[in-house]
Amino acid sequence: MKELIIKQDHLLTVEKVAESISHEIRKPLTSVRGLLQMLKPHLVEMDAPVHYTNLALEELDRANDIIYEFLNTSKPKFSSREEVLVSKVLKDSVMICQSDSILANCSIEYLQNVSDQIVSIDIKQIKQVLLNIIKNAIEAIQESGKPELGSIVISSEEKNGSIVISIADNGIGMSDHTKEKLFSVFFTTKNRGTGIGLAVCNEIVSSHQGTIEFSSTQGLGSTFYIKLPVVQNM
């Protein structure tokens, strides 16, 4: 028991150190980003190769993304639970993703169920899960390069004592290799991916006694199912 407590203390310290290192690294990254931005118009004026600066900016953004996503994984696991309507969380998440989806030429539709459900969740964490999965759906649609409008359909239902939230896209779909690996940390098939998103989602949903499942067909699209326990005695 004592050993367990010491281990937890140690973990907390590691999390704190990780968080401050991440913050400290982000500061110089932000400065370098600003300096490069200031340099850009001068390079254009001099007819110098501006694409090096653009590449450097993209790489800086990638480093920032990795730190941002890492920060979220290293957050303490003690989360606060609130009882909330599934529809509220889903509507909020869809709204947040609206501008990204418009830019990617795809629609996000939320099919609200007649019977709404209540879940007991850490709202911030579950929203993060939804945003990660919707972001992946948008990226899968962009990658598919299909000329028609992309579509993401979100719905929820109560099934066998669980609330099942499904997020379906008509994007690029997954190969068998991707299906095996997608929840592994740092697994990504994208040039600028971090491979952290789904690993974090899995961890958050597990800590809510839930599961994430998916089905996917290459070339047709993928659907993710987030299963969360139903709140009893309502």
Q: Return residues touching ligand ADP (CB under 6 A).
A: 132, 136-137, 140, 169, 171-174, 178, 182, 187-190, 193-195, 197-199, 222
Chosen from Mg ion, ligand ADP, none, partner binding at 229 (C-beta under 5 to 8 Å by type): none
* Integer Cα distance of 194 and 58 in angstroms: 13
CB of 173 to Mg ion, least distance (A): 15
Nearest approach, Cβ of 154 to ligand ADP (angstroms)? Answer: 12
Q: Which does 210 bind (CB under 5 to 8 A by kind): Mg ion, ligand ADP, none?
A: none
A 10 A CB-CB count for 85 gives 12
User: What is the C-alpha to C-alpha distance for residues 135 and 104, in angstroms, rounded to an integer?
Assistant: 11
Contacts of 33 (CB under 8 A, 6+ apart): 57, 60, 61
User: What is the Cα–Cα distance from 68 to 202, expressed in whole angstroms?
Assistant: 17
Which residues are paired to 54 by β-bridges?
A: none
Q: How far is the CB of 145 from Mg ion (least distance, A)?
A: 18
168 binds, among Mg ion, ligand ADP, none (CB under 5 to 8 A by kind): none
Q: How does strand 106-111 pair with strand 150-159?
A: parallel
Binding site for Mg ion (CB under 5 A): 136, 197
Least distance in Å: CB of 74 to ligand ADP? 16
